[in-house]
Amino acid sequence: FLTMPTALVIFIWSISSSLKFRFALFFRNFSTFLYVIHKAIISFIIRMNIFEQEILIFFLAISVSLILYYIFLQYKKKFNWQWLNYLM
């Protein structure tokens, strides 16, 4: 429930902030990545019965999404596959 508003807030903040273009682009792409992958991460956490509290699930989903996004960026740089550019 909270991931969609969080992705929207990250996106709006990155557009309106005075960050350098590189960081603003990172946060805009991360908000899209977060919106796309959050359901799978939350489903996995719930199935594994790691946490019962929703706020912990939310923060864990954000953290895991950020780690996966960083891994995604590293693969995108390393392999330079053209189709990865269409995902984000």
Q: What is the pLDDT of residues 36-62, one digit of tens each?
A: 887 888 888 888 877 777 788 778 888
Q: Whole-structure pTM over 0.75, yes or no?
A: no
Mean pLDDT of 10-22: 68
The per-residue pLDDT for 58 is: 79
Terminal Cα-to-Cα distance of the chain (whole angstroms): 22
The per-residue pLDDT for 88 is: 61
pLDDT reading at 19 higher than 60: no
Indicate the DSSP class of residue 49.
Answer: T
Cβ neighbours around 56 below 10 Å, total: 12
